A and B are shown apart, each in its own frame.
Chain A
Amino acid sequence: EPEVTQTPSHQVTQMGQEVILRCVPISNHLYFYWYRQILGQKVEFLVSFYNNEISEKSEIFDDQFSVERPDGSNFTLKIRSTKLEDSAMYFCASSARRELNEQFFGPGTRLTVL
């Protein structure tokens, strides 16, 4: 069964460093998303991406964040200068069509900023 994959599973970084979180969505999906979950809290929307551009972003998704689909398979989230409060689980998700919108989530990347 096709699934969303994410690498790495755990990333530890120093405050101020850049990190890139990688995702491989399900191959025939067209809509891509990043969400984050601070430990013990709810899952929060960060950004949606369709047709090679951002279609919506949340207030959390400030200038320090960017997304890219560099090739036909990968979808990346970059944080330019990490802050302590960026420590969270980051989930990538994809869906085949917006209307059907069963978003299938990857296993997440746990980001720890020291």
Chain B
Amino acid sequence: AQKVTQAQTEISVVEKEDVTLDCVYETRDTTYYLFWYKQPPSGELVFLIRRNSFDEQNEISGRYSWNFQKSTSSFNFTITASQVVDSAVYFCALRHGSSNTGKLIFGQGTTLQVKP
């Protein structure tokens, strides 16, 4: 099975709260790539991060951090001190290493609303 599950449909927080968006994936490949994209209300898809399956090191970029755990097939995304501008739909996506086309498989997305 090749699947990405984002169980949280909608999350609402108040500005400055920390929030974690969950992503669980399924794949039989030993090599794969995971991504997060942001879709603000304007509709475009903005690339945030790519992670390779052979690199489990967590990553921090400003207020954003990602926790990749192969043991639980999860690639969670945390926003620290959330801001109103973080309000968007966030998609987690998977690409198989065996894919010769680069096709991305997206999760259903999590709508994050940050209230002032």
**Contact surface of A with B, Cβ cutoff 8 Å:** 31, 33, 35, 41-45, 48, 50, 55-56, 58, 89, 91, 93, 95, 98, 101-108, 110
Which residues in chain B, 67-116, are within 8 Å of chain A measured between CB atoms?
91, 93, 95, 99-109
Cross-chain contact B102 with A33 (CB below 8 angstroms): yes
Q: Give CA–CA (A48, B95) in the complex, Å.
A: 13
In-complex Cβ contact of B102 among A91, A101, A106, A110 (8 A): A101
State the majority secondary structure of interface residues on B: loop
- Give the distance to chain A from B48, nearest Cβ to Cβ, in Å: 10
Give 16 CB contacts A-B under 8 Å. A31-B101, A31-B102, A33-B102, A33-B103, A43-B45, A43-B104, A45-B104, A48-B103, A55-B100, A56-B100, A91-B45, A93-B45, A104-B47, A105-B37, A105-B47, A108-B45
B64 interface residue (CB < 8 Å to A): no
Cross-chain contact B100 with A98 (CB below 8 angstroms): yes
Cross-chain contact B47 with A102 (CB below 8 angstroms): yes
B55 interface residue (CB < 8 Å to A): no
**Contact surface of B with A, Cβ cutoff 8 Å:** 33, 35, 37, 42-47, 50, 91, 93, 95, 99-109
- Give the distance to chain A from B65, nearest Cβ to Cβ, in Å: 19
Task: Point out the residues of chain B lying under 8 angstroms from A91, CB to CB.
Answer: 45
Task: Point out the residues of chain B lying under 8 angstroms from A102, CB to CB.
Answer: 35, 47, 50
In-complex Cβ contact of A50 among B42, B101, B104, B106 (8 A): B101
- 8 residue pairs, one from A and one from B, having the closest CB atoms: A56-B101, A105-B45, A48-B101, A43-B106, A55-B101, A107-B44, A98-B102, A42-B108
Q: Give CA–CA (A50, B44) in the complex, Å.
A: 23
Contacts A55-B100, A101-B95 given; does A45 touch B105 at CB 8 Å: yes
